[in-house]
Amino acid sequence: MALLNFKKREANTQADAQPLSPEVEAFLQGYSIEVMPRTAAKIDDFRSMLPQGTRVYIAHIEGTPIEEMVATAKRLNDEGYPVMPHFPARIIQDEATLADWINRYQGEADVKQALLLAGGVAQPHGDYHCSMQLLESGLFDKAGFTNLHVAGHPEGNKDIDPDGSFKNVSEALGWKQKFSERTDAKMALATQFAFESGPIIEWANNIKAAGVDIPVHIGIAGPAKLQTLIKFAIACGVGPSLKVLQKRAMDMSKLLLPYEPNDILTELAAHKAANPDFNITNVHFFPLGGIKTNTNWAIKNGGAAAQPATSSVTS
């Protein structure tokens, strides 16, 4: 019966939308979402799914031609969504390639924002191995980018700190803080997703205490099958909060039900409401169960903050 009820709720329309709480509605204001060219191509019109002006990150996976990335950026920009393409350092051959990408994005798609990160490949394809080198190039500032986001790791990153510590990621974060003080662009930390609010809150408080005042856009995994989330969590190196999924997998009453981010968002939103100066300012969704699934969840649970630009709702 629970499964049937869940499917019935999936068919709800915008008229049924109710926020999980006023705090969650406020917390979801200005949320962003991530797509890839191949997933974006399956969506007929993002205006029926996303609030007007939603920032859309475009993930650049190794092997994706830059032409596809730029075409996706142009399409989204034409629909009224500011785009933030990924610039993964390790797949960029050299400064000439970086300059070419920037020129293409700006000239063909009016891109003014970028997420700079190391990238998911083990060996660099060329001259760059980290986002700090991309920032140091000066090309983004020269091109007048208004927003530059960099990666944050609430649970650490074993690719960067194999010993499980936060030493290297903390040093990199300190460097990015200093860069944020000399660039004209607005900077933010876009984090990896996690499934437990406690470690996120502790990490956010710790970096603030260490003098990092770059706003945090917290990564949240959108609704998805449990098996899908566990697969992505392991592949992306999600740390302590993976036990939340493992515990759920052991509960037969929940094993077959898709995961939804209700609990973690409710807890983070309540903390934000009680601590207005909390440095997490925005939510960034990873739609691991699909863009439509994620946006439908937001429409039904996010109140006015998540209503799409047009009245039709994708089911």
- Find the mean pLDDT for residues 31-54: 97
Residue 229 binned pLDDT confidence (cut-offs 50, 70, 90): confident
- Find the mean pLDDT for residues 235-252: 59
Mean pLDDT across the chain, nearest whole number? 87
pLDDT at residue number 114: 98
Find where tokens 């903050």 sit: 305
Question: How large is the angle between the packed helices 226-235 and 242-249, nearest 10 degrees?
Answer: 150
pLDDT tens digits for 163-215?
Answer: 666 778 889 999 999 999 999 999 999 999 888 999 999 999 999 999 999 99
pTM: 0.87
Q: Distance (Å, rounded) from C-alpha 120 to C-alpha 232?
A: 13
pLDDT at residue number 166: 74
Domains of the chain, residue spans: 2-306
Q: Distance (Å, rounded) from C-alpha 218 to C-alpha 233?
A: 15
CATH of 2-306 among 3.20.20.220, 3.50.50.60, 2.60.120.10, 3.40.630.10: 3.20.20.220
Let me know: does 108 contact 97? Beta carbons within 8 Å: no
pLDDT tens digits for 90-111?
Answer: 999 999 999 999 999 999 999 9
To the nearest whole percent, how much of the chain has pLDDT over 70?
A: 82
Question: Is pLDDT above 50 for 4?
Answer: no
- Find the mean pLDDT for residues 119-138: 93
To the nearest whole percent, how much of the chain has pLDDT over 90?
A: 71
Question: 62 — alpha (psi -120 to 50), left (phi > 0) or beta?
Answer: beta
pLDDT at residue number 121: 84
pLDDT at residue number 266: 97
